[in-house]
Amino acid sequence: MIRIGIVGDIGSGKTFVANNFGYPVFNADHEVSKLYKKNKNIFIKLNKKLPKYIFTFPIDKAELTNAILSNKKNLNIINNIVHKEVRKKLDIFLKKNQKKKIVILDIPLFIENKIFKKNDILIFVHSKKKDINERIKKRANYNVNLINMFRKIQLNLSYKKKISHFIIKNTFTKIPVKNSIRKILNEIL
């Protein structure tokens, strides 16, 4: 199985690119959302560690945002609890798809959280800053301070770009992205 990790800036369209490969995609953000909605144990752990902030189940993203913005150490607390569960979901996904030729890993902090393995293929999604900023502002939970905080925990984008095997210029139109994907697949298969 070839593991392809999709990396890039927040709002660069990593999920858009990942979903155009035509292979199974593990989307960590989607898994986190499901955990917040359905996993009572995560709520209990977060409520125990951050009782002043987390008190609603399903977990309210506004409460999480408030916790993170009130004290940046709270982001580590949240990540330590949630990432363990996401890793379990990733393990299940990899086992389920072990006979597939390729799997796509759409995981923010893919490199930072040491999910990246030596044989993984990294694809950096490059988008114009203007497009990224427009996309981020449209998000329901948009908060510039929160976005900046998340950017600070990421590795430098130029470093991610440098260590990536391929770069896809994302204009958020299917045909150019699919053409780039086809070239990459022809090269690695």
What CATH code is assigned to 2-188? Answer: 3.40.50.300
Sign of the dihedral through C-alpha 50, 55, 57, 62: negative
Segment 49-67, tens digit of pLDDT: 999 999 999 999 999 999 9
Segment 92-117, tens digit of pLDDT: 999 999 999 999 999 998 999 889 99
The structure's pTM equals 0.93
C-alpha span between 23 and 43 (Å, rounded): 32
Q: Are the beta carbons of 21 and 183 closer than 8 angstroms? A: no
Q: What is the mean pLDDT of residues 81-86?
A: 95
Q: Which of 76-90, 136-150, 159-173 has the least mean pLDDT?
A: 136-150
C-alpha span between 137 and 163 (Å, rounded): 29
pLDDT, residue 140, reads 64
- Tell me the β-bridge partners of 104: 4, 25
Domain ranges of the chain: 2-188
Q: Angle at which helices 28-38 and 40-49 pack, to 10 degrees?
A: 80
Q: Which two tokens stand for residue 158?
A: 């130029």
